[in-house]
Amino acid sequence: MTRALFIVDVQNDFTEGGALGVDGGDAVAVGVSRFLVAHRDDYALVIASRDWHDGDNDNGGHFADGQPDFVDSWPVHCVAGTEGAEYDPGLDTSAVTHHVKKGQGVPAYSLFEGVTDDGETVADLLTAHGVTDVDVTGIATDYCVRASALDAIAHGRHVRVLTDLVAGVAPDSSDAALAELAHSGAELQESTS
């Protein structure tokens, strides 16, 4: 068994005080950092994603022109090169093996929609390193964590969502996302178990 850890979008705009900040985002950053201190050697790859949107267009309708619907259109967030797009300061990225940017000019939710600065896809990285199992952490449970975990399952990987290392936009939609992931074959467990 070869395992990878996904750290999904633990960015300033998604943690408390950000453009789309979620409750518990800062705690996820600190929790993932603490988890990696104890478990770095469990992973062949540690892949961190960031929304990395263009600042001069609507990113394929992802940025609302007017009032966002918070389903398909959103307030401006995670614009490339801004403080909002940077990792939350509580996240220690020293153990990250690959940084992935997604949503460069288009809507993107799954980490699989991103690429490294060298143009590598996550699917190619997992295959090249023989990864069979993926643990998923990050923000937001009901959007990008959900999409990333579902894509990992679709790519034939066994997925665990570390439920104490994710934070969602809303409780009901986060619970629904976790139920959908469990129904799709993901294991839901705390990082300490």
- What pLDDT is attached to residue 71? 85
Q: Which range marks the domain in which residue 179 is found?
A: 3-189
- 81 φψ region: left (φ > 0), alpha (ψ -120 to 50), beta (else): left
- 75: domain CATH number is 3.40.50.850
- What is the spatial distance between Cα 145 and Cα 123, in angstroms, rounded to a whole number? 16
Mean pLDDT of 107-121: 96
Catalytic annotation, residues: 9, 102, 144
- What pLDDT is attached to residue 90? 98
Question: DSSP class of residue 28?
Answer: H
pTM here is: 0.96
List, for residues 67-101, the tens digit of each pLDDT value: 999 888 999 999 999 999 999 999 999 999 999 99
